[in-house]
């Protein structure tokens, strides 16, 4: 499994993100301003509206210069006490019970148990923590209003901003502690579920294939084969070599160490704990482009029509190629060669021998001189991840005599690289002859005619390093933490002007809409099939197909007009809607064995702040101008 749509690098992301954020905040602020000013005019008249507005601004200024972290933390402390005394710990207990039941229902024979377990714990924690955040945040202020404790509070010098921020901090702290406890429980649960060993019995499980004396054979000759006993629904293939070494083959994405002891002439094997179920690979992604049959550079390849647009294709046995350009390749980082991992999609125009896999070739190419060497010929099955290592020393016979070219659309005549033969060398070194300023190209070609290879940018990457699995598991919870902060901020905002249950329902609405933001935006822009809400309802009750046009009547138009207004309204809400599904990145990373990148953390952290900060300001303005004793 490859992560799709990896997070864009921070530097590329920040400009566009900041702009769209600024626009959204400005639009919403302007809208809020206009609405409140009109309301003031209606209820207070022109003269008083001006005065009210002026005192409002000066009060806000006073609040700003008198803001105190001390008071803010006093309020935070109160929120923590409230949560603790109202026994939020119950959520933790619920979680542990869920884990216990989860253990029964998770399929133990899964081919990828680590992924299953990790997905399960992340999902459970996300739902529980968000639910907790929802309850705590949307009920806290309304309780103050209901019990009128707010009267005593706001007649102290505490500012509304401190009340709001203190609440966010306090509830955030409670949520953080609970989340950390859940993370620890989860780690324990996952490692406990994954941990197992197998039994291997010399006489019963291994078959000796030769009677020769092992010492007379080459050390890597297989002398015995077999399988371990079943555990967690699987068994491993085992081979014993003439050297006396044993190898346990990978199964369900993990391997085991093995030790043998000889006592009283009996050989005993001890298989160690599983290794590699949980991984934290650090991928180095390259930029993808395609070369077409005329050797021109293209951003995309062929669309084979069947697949969703995400991947695009090259035809086999032609000059077409998929090209990844990598940067930052140094001998220090990749002393052992370049570990490539790829998941190539295969599209067959004729089935031929279905058993036969499609052949492909991988090359490295110097991006400046065009010097190219073939590194691997491989056979590809659909959507299986392949791991290959490009060696540092490249065989002379694999180096192409002529440089390969890619023509840019702009310079159709001069190719940018000389097409003349390059002087041939006795030996080639990856870093000296192919990498220029840390840049290197990796090419893929499909070797079978009438068959196609497809890929998208993240489908091929270099496994640059492996991060600490334990730390990575906890890093994965940062996503839940960030979502929690956003939910808390929304809950607090709603609770500044809505009663408890309504605030809770609204926050819940935000969570649900946020998890399906894409669909929400489609509905808002009337892009979904069958039109907007009224039109869809009309179709529903009149049993009309989603595709046909409705009769051209007044009521149809009325409905569609309403839909446009509702659509505009929804679009505005859409601006303020967090895309919670983006945070699945974290769980996906951990579940699929990738390291959570600092870049992603940074991007998501800023996204979180971009929600929390304006929500805080809105909440402050509303609470400040609310008539407390009404």
Interacting residues with other proteins (CB under 8 A)? 43, 48, 55, 59, 62-63, 66, 68, 70-71, 74, 77-78, 81-82, 85-86, 147-159, 627-630
CB of 159 to other proteins, least distance (A): 6
> In the numeric block, which tokens belong to residue 115?
């992924």
CB-wise, 352 or 501, nearer to other proteins?
501
How far apart (Å, rounded) are the C-alpha atoms in residues 368 and 507?
55
CB-wise, 141 or 258, nearer to other proteins?
141
CB of 167 to other proteins, least distance (A): 13
CB-wise, 43 or 383, nearer to other proteins?
43
CA distances from 323 to 288, 291, 455, 500 (A): 6, 7, 10, 56
CB of 70 to other proteins, least distance (A): 5
CB-wise, 62 or 419, nearer to other proteins?
62
CB of 84 to other proteins, least distance (A): 9
* Cα end-to-end distance, the chain, whole Å: 57
**For the chain, counts of helices (H) and of strands (E):** 15, 21
What DSSP state is assigned to residue 617? Answer: H
| Burial of residue 376 (number of CB atoms within 10 Å: 0-12, 13-18, 19+) | middle
CB-wise, 147 or 418, nearer to other proteins?
147
CB of 135 to other proteins, least distance (A): 16
CB-wise, 70 or 350, nearer to other proteins?
70
CB of 568 to other proteins, least distance (A): 26
CA distances from 574 to 17, 510, 524, 578, 617 (A): 15, 10, 8, 8, 19
CB-wise, 16 or 66, nearer to other proteins?
66
CB of 502 to other proteins, least distance (A): 13
> In the numeric block, which tokens belong to residue 195?
């941990």
Judge contact between 231 and 166, C-beta under 8 A: no
CB-wise, 48 or 385, nearer to other proteins?
48
Q: Is the alpha carbon torsion for 431, 433, 437, 438 positive or negative?
A: negative
CB of 134 to other proteins, least distance (A): 20
How far apart (Å, rounded) are the C-alpha atoms in residues 19 and 627?
35
CB of 139 to other proteins, least distance (A): 14
CB-wise, 43 or 470, nearer to other proteins?
43
Residues 6+ apart with CB under 8 A from 7: 13, 585, 597, 599, 600, 603, 604
- CB count within 10 Å of CB 600 equals 23
CB-wise, 61 or 188, nearer to other proteins?
61
Cα 235 from chain centroid? 32
CB of 22 to other proteins, least distance (A): 30
Cα 441 from chain centroid? 26
Cα-only R_g, the chain = 31
CB-hemisphere CA count at 13 Å for 123?
A: 11
How far apart (Å, rounded) are the C-alpha atoms in residues 583 and 100?
26
């Amino acid at each position: 499994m490859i992560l799709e749509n990896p997070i864009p690098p921070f530097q590329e992301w920040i400009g566009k993100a900041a702009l769209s954020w600024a626009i959204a905040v400005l639009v919403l602020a302007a809208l809020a301003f206009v609405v409140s000013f009109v309301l003031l005019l209606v209820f207070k008249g022109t003269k008083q509206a001006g005065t009210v507005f002026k005192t409002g601004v000066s009060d806000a200024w006073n609040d700003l210069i008198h803001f105190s972290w001390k008071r803010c933390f006093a309020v935070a402390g109160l929120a923590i006490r409230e949560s603790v005394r109202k026994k939020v710990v119950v959520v933790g207990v619920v979680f542990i019970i869920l884990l216990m039941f989860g253990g029964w229902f998770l399929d133990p024979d899964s081919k990828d148990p680590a992924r299953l377990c990790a997905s399960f714990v992340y999902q459970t924690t996300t739902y529980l923590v968000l639910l907790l955040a929802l309850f705590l945040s949307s009920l806290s202020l309304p309780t103050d209003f209901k019990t009128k404790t707010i009267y005593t509070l706001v007649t102290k010098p505490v500012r509304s901003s401190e009340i709001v921020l203190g609440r966010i901090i306090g509830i955030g702290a409670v949520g953080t502690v609970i989340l950390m406890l859940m993370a620890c429980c989860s780690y324990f649960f996952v490692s406990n579920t994954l941990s197992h060993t197998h039994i291997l019995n010399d006489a019963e499980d291994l078959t000796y294939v030769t009677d020769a004396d092992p010492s007379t054979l080459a050390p890597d000759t297989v002398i015995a084969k077999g399988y371990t006993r079943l555990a967690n629904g699987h068994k491993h293939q085992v081979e014993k070599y003439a050297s006396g070494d044993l190898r346990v083959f990978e199964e369900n994405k993990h391997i085991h160490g093995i030790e043998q002891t000889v006592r009283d002439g009996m050989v005993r094997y001890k298989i160690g704990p599983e290794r590699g179920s949980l991984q934290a690979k650090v991928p180095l992604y390259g930029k993808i482009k395609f070369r077409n049959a005329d050797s021109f550079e293209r951003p995309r390849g062929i669309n084979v029509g069947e697949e969703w647009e995400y991947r695009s294709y090259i035809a086999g046995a032609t000059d077409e190629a998929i090209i990844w350009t990598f940067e930052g390749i140094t001998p220090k980082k990749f002393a052992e060669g370049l570990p490539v991992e790829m998941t190539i999609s295969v599209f067959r125009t004729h089935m031929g021998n279905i058993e036969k896999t499609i052949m492909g070739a991988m090359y490295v190419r110097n991006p400046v001189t065009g010097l190219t060497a073939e590194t691997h010929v491989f056979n590809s099955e659909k959507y299986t991840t392949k791991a290959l290592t490009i060696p540092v020393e490249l065989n002379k016979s694999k180096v192409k005599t002529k440089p390969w070219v890619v023509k840019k659309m702009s310079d159709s005549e001069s190719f940018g690289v000389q097409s003349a033969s390059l002087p041939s060398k006795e030996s080639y070194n990856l870093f000296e002859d192919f990498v220029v300023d840390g840049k290197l190209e990796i090419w893929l070609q499909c070797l079978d005619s009438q068959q196609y290879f497809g890929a998208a940018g993240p489908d091929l990457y270099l496994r640059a390093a492996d991060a600490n699995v334990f730390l990575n598991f906890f890093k994965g919870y940062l996503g839940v933490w960030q979502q929690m902060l956003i939910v808390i901020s929304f809950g607090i905002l709603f609770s500044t002007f809505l009663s408890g249950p309504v605030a809770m329902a609204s926050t819940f609405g935000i969570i649900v809409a946020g998890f399906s933001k894409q669909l929400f935006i489609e509905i808002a822009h009337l892009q979904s099939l069958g039109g907007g809400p009224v039109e869809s309802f009309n179709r529903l009750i009149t049993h009309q197909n989603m595709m046909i046009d409705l009769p051209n009547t007044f009521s149809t138009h009325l409905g569609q007009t309403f839909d446009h207004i509702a659509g505009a309204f929804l679009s505005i809400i859409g601006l303020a809607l967090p895309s919670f599904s983006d945070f699945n990145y974290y769980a996906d990373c951990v579940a699929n064995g990738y390291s959570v990148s600092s870049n992603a953390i940074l991007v998501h952290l800023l996204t979180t702040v971009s929600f929390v900060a304006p929500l805080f300001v809105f909440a402050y303005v509303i609470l400040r101008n609310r008539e407390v004793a009404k």
